[in-house]
Amino acid sequence: MNFEKINTIEKNKELKKYRDIVIATIDYFLENDFAKIKTTDFDSDEHYKKLKTQTDEHFQKGRLTKLKQWFRDLTEPQIESGDLNFNKYLKEKTNYDIDLFKSYFDRVDKIIEKGKITTDNQFYDLSIMVDKLCQIEPIDQEKIKKINKLLTVYELSKKIKKPTA
């Protein structure tokens, strides 16, 4: 088997995985009341059903990056709230061994190790982490200092890059 064929096989596996876990994530929202919003202008159930259709379209068109980003965006509330039931639900629903919190902690550690925030997503991840660290006993003052420094530097760099009116 040549290298390109292996890459195609691997990409197709990843595509299927991310389609499955995005669909399962959307199903989790549809099945749980905490995610339900219904107003005259918005119905969360209809919104999530549209997202499922779009997820399938992204899968059909081979948009792995889009599916990965959607998964990340859709799971931010579960990571932020520490929803451990969600991890269990994903594993039961998809048979994929996914540990959202491990990947989240790994991402945060890599950013700290690198010593620089380069994206808004990284900034958001570290913001969540510093909030969590402030609530956990014993408080890890050293890690909080490192993260706050990275957050401050990133915020300042964003302000410098903004054109003034």
Q: What mean pLDDT comes out for the span 132-153?
A: 89
pLDDT score of 78 = 86
Please count the CA atoms within 13 angstroms of the CA of 123 that sit on its side-chain side.
11
For residue range 42-59, what is the model confidence (pLDDT) as tens digits? 888 899 999 999 999 999
Q: What mean pLDDT comes out for the span 67-74?
A: 93
Residues forming beta bridges with residue 38, ordered by sequence position: 43
- Which tokens in the block code for residue 138? 């014993």
- Does the pLDDT at position 25 exceed 90? yes
Query: What is the distance between the alpha carbons of residues 62 and 12, in angstroms, rounded to a whole number?
Result: 8
pLDDT score of 110 = 95
Nearest residue to 37 (alpha-carbon basis) of 27, 45, 28: 45
pLDDT score of 2 = 57
**Residue, of 37 and 19, whose pLDDT is higher:** 19
Is 52 within 8 Å of 129 (Cβ atoms)? Answer: no
For residue range 81-127, what is the model confidence (pLDDT) as tens digits? 878 788 889 999 999 988 888 888 898 999 999 999 999 989 988 99
Q: What mean pLDDT comes out for the span 130-139?
A: 82
Does the pTM of the predicted model rise above 0.85? no
Every domain of the chain and the residues it spans: 3-94, 100-161
How much is the mean pLDDT over the chain?
A: 88
Beta strands in the chain (DSSP E): none
Exposed/middle/buried for 50, CB within 10 Å: 0-12, 13-18, 19+? Answer: exposed
pLDDT score of 135 = 78
